[in-house]
Amino acid sequence: MEINGVGFKPEGGESGAAQSLADNFDTFLALLTTQLQNQDPLEPLKSEQFTEQLVQFSGVEQAISTNKKLDALLDLQTSNQLNSSVSYIGRSAEFVSDKLLLTDEGGKISYGLASKSAQTTISIVDSSGRVVRAVNGATGAGRHEYAWDGRDGGGVELPDGVYNFSVTAVTADNETIDTVSATFGTVTGVEIVDGEATLIMGDLGGVSFEQIFAIRETESEA
């Protein structure tokens, strides 16, 4: 399993900011010393002006220190996400998607209807955008499953791989009914994407936890 993003610090990140602060503070002290040496005796620089400038630098320094601590917490959280997500590898997941994986055992999808429909149509599309199979689906409100045998409308067996699908449902007045489409896949790995753990579903790609409806044991384990 390939794990990305852990412990990576982009160039110019917190270490670069800290170094920049140190360089700027040295410059500030040099300028301040020169200013003191060349100030007008009749209008000396007031002490509160020194204090104000020093407080500003102190605030920046504290902010960088806080960022370091936050980064450490984020690294810990990322590590915890990975540790908990690894246990899902090899499990079957049901998740929101418009993709369907066809294998020797066929393919399976699920979908939900917001209300009872007069007609539900499931369309399966190949990589060229051609509808290879269109069937009538269940019309009752709620969740349903459809198992595809991998054949097109003419009964020809199609090659294994990833297909797209869509589910449309309408009322008797031909008004569209809200639907939710999902598919099934096996978790093959875990990656960190934009700071979040993502489950890899083989050829179906990465899936965020927000997309997942359920994770189950595989049939061989059940």
> For position 88, what pLDDT does the model report?
85
Going by C-alpha positions, the residue among 121, 120, 124, 89 that lies closest to residue 106 is 124
- How buried is 47 (Cβ within 10 angstroms: 0-12 exposed, 13-18 middle, 19+ buried)? exposed
Tens place of pLDDT per residue across the chain (222 aa): 333 333 333 444 545 555 665 566 666 667 666 766 766 665 665 555 656 666 666 666 666 666 665 655 555 455 566 666 678 889 999 999 999 999 999 999 999 999 999 999 999 999 999 999 999 999 999 999 999 999 999 999 999 999 999 999 999 999 999 999 999 999 998 887 777 778 999 999 999 888 999 988 875 444
| Tokens 């699920």, residue located | 110
Contacts of 39 (CB under 8 A, 6+ apart): 45
Question: Domain segments of the chain: what residues?
Answer: 14-88, 92-216
Phi-psi region at 220: left, alpha or beta (left = phi > 0; alpha = psi -120 to 50) = alpha
CATH topology of domain 92-216: Immunoglobulin-like (2.60.40)
- Model pTM above 0.75: no
Distances (CA, A) of 127 to 48, 130, 140, 159, 163: 71, 7, 30, 11, 6
> For position 70, what pLDDT does the model report?
60
> For position 209, what pLDDT does the model report?
87
Using CA atoms, how far apart are residues 198 and 216, in angstroms rounded to an integer? 17
Alpha-carbon Rg for the chain in angstroms: 30
> For position 194, what pLDDT does the model report?
77
